[in-house]
Amino acid sequence: MKNYLIIGGGIAGVTLAHQLENRNLTFDLVDNSPKYNSTKVAAGFWNPIVFKRLTMSFNADKMLPILKNFYSIIEQKIDNSFVNEVPQLKIFSTKEERHRFIDKAIVSEVSQFLDEEPIEKIEGIKAPFGMGKVIGTGYIDTVEYIEKSLEYFESNGSFINKKIDYSEIEYTPDYTGFSGKKYEKVIYCEGYHAVHNPLFPELRLKPTKGELLILEIPGLSQDFAFAKSAGLIPLGNQQFIVGSTYDWEDMTEDATEAARKKLLYNLSDFLELDYKVIDHQAGIRPSSFDRRPIIGKSSVQANVYIMNGLGTKGVMYAPFYSDMLINFIEHGAKLDEEVDFVRINDLN
């Protein structure tokens, strides 16, 4: 009998599986490798700063050291490179925004992440008020991370390529049964599909559709990511991600012309170079009602747990909160109140 059954092979499930393996705990990860997976259309960018207020992103100071150490270990383990550290340039819209950035860079809780010296010009970028450099940012190639990790788990006999039907899972006082195997515990990492999970009836997910474009932009520096009305993330070979959109009404998984036009319109606010659209992708994010991750145990079934609601910050949240969840399950450690599934029960 294995220790864990993990249901869902996105950022949450794959990261959780690596964390379990690092602790010598056994598991099977189940996913049917869907074409439309929120992880596979995620930009994968991490940023410790909330630009609107120039404040620290939720728990970023705690998460960044863990993030870098965790993904570095996994790169070595699966013999693949998917981590890219790249500074981000915040394009100022006004003189006041520029001055506020400099002030925060000199003295504030986020000074360690902000460069005091603005950058005045980058070829191809319209920035009459200059740009502020954010340090400590970067992105994960999420497709590479997920695909190579699943190949690694499959080679070790711990990946099951199968679509989950809740009726196929057998719960008994002694074990959980699935596909002829037995497990001590189950962790659901289903993304937005969890809205249909009968074991978490209190769950208050707020699924959000996101779309992004991949562009080829000859002549634009790939030494930086850029942020203003849209974000640009360098991928190499003159390609960039531009994104992303937020839609709480359309829950189809189709790319839309409206989102394409919106992204390109926002991009025109600061990009002065010609480009070519290479790809257009869409997916549904498992955002929570309060934009905080959701981890904890089911109130319906013993030995059943959840990790969800990572939203747009999945690559930053996943290593930190998967570690917290495992310590909760294995050692009885306390979960942070801001992310504990119990908080949702208290609101219902």
How would you write the pLDDT of the chain (348 residues) with one tens digit per residue?
Answer: 999 999 999 999 999 999 999 999 999 999 986 554 555 556 689 999 999 889 999 899 999 999 999 999 999 999 999 999 999 999 999 999 999 999 999 999 999 999 999 999 999 999 999 999 999 999 999 989 999 999 999 999 999 999 889 999 999 999 999 999 999 999 999 988 888 899 998 888 888 888 999 999 999 999 999 999 999 999 999 999 998 888 888 888 889 999 999 999 999 999 999 999 999 998 888 888 888 999 999 999 999 999 999 888 899 999 999 999 999 999 999 999 999 998 876 655
**Rounded (10°) angle between helices 60-78 and 314-331:** 90
Look at residue 202 in the predicted model and tell me its pLDDT: 86
Domain boundaries, the chain: 2-42+143-204+289-347, 88-135, 208-285
Query: What distances in angstroms separate CA 218 from CA 30, 87, 225, 239, one per listed residue?
Result: 41, 20, 15, 8
∠187-191-192 over CA atoms, to 5°? 130
CB proximity list for 21: less than 8 A, separation 6 or greater = 27, 158
Look at residue 290 in the predicted model and tell me its pLDDT: 84
Look at residue 203 in the predicted model and tell me its pLDDT: 86
Cα–Cα distance, 268 to 213 (Å, whole number): 14
Query: What distances in angstroms separate CA 28 from CA 1, 13, 254, one per listed residue?
Result: 11, 10, 31
The Cβ of residue 201 has, within 10 Å, a number of other Cβ atoms equal to: 10
Look at residue 243 in the predicted model and tell me its pLDDT: 84
**Residue type for position 112:** Q
Cα–Cα distance, 306 to 191 (Å, whole number): 10
H or E segment to which residue 321 belongs = helix 314-331
Look at residue 348 in the predicted model and tell me its pLDDT: 52
Look at residue 36 in the predicted model and tell me its pLDDT: 43
What CATH homologous superfamily does 2-42+143-204+289-347 map to?
Answer: FAD/NAD(P)-binding domain (3.50.50.60)
Identify the CATH assignment for 208-285 out of 2.30.30.30, 3.40.140.10, 3.30.9.10, 3.30.420.40.
3.30.9.10
Phi, psi of 148 (to 5 degrees): -70, -35
